[in-house]
Amino acid sequence: MEMEIKVTINAPGLEGAIHTLAQVLANYELPVNIPGSEVVEQPKQEVQAPQPVQQAPVQQPVPTQQPPQQAPVQQPPVQQEVPQQAAVPTSNPTYSMDQLAVAATQLMDAGRRDDVVNLITSFGVQALTALPQEQYGAFATRLRELGAKI
């Protein structure tokens, strides 16, 4: 007896999120485990314990009796704290494709898929992975304006 079963999943934005994830993962080599194959482990290097260092015996000086003297009491100098100025960044922060993809996915998960698609196309590209690296900073700023945490 044969029976046909159809399952429909309605998840707005899921398709775009999966597409973005696939594009990001396409840039990385993932480990491949083939069933039935052995995993070859790298040989472990032996770590030798450090050898103790022998020190020469220290001779203690023999105290001699001297007449007691009153040493003048000195107080240590008071150091005034100089307020430090906050460091001013000299360059713009840099972002990776992963950071941009995660931030875009956050927006898509929040139901803002159209905003993300419009943002990507406003940079003149069809996909996030086609965005030139020199535009990552501007793209990250726009993602933040849309509410992404990056």
Rounding to the nearest 10 degrees, give the CA dihedral for residues 78, 79, 83, 88. Answer: -170
Average pLDDT over residues 140-149: 92
Residue 21: Cβ within 10 Å count = 13
Q: Which of 1-5, 45-49, 125-129 has the lowest mean pLDDT?
A: 45-49
- In order of 65, 84, 137, 141, 150, the CA distances from 87 in angstroms are 57, 9, 21, 21, 21
What's the helix, strand, coil split of the chain in %, to 5?
Answer: 35, 0, 65
Per-residue DSSP letter, 50: P
Has residue 23 got a pLDDT over 60?
A: yes
Average pLDDT over residues 60-69: 60
Has residue 64 got a pLDDT over 70?
A: no
Q: Of 75, 146, 65, nearest to 112 (Cα)? A: 146
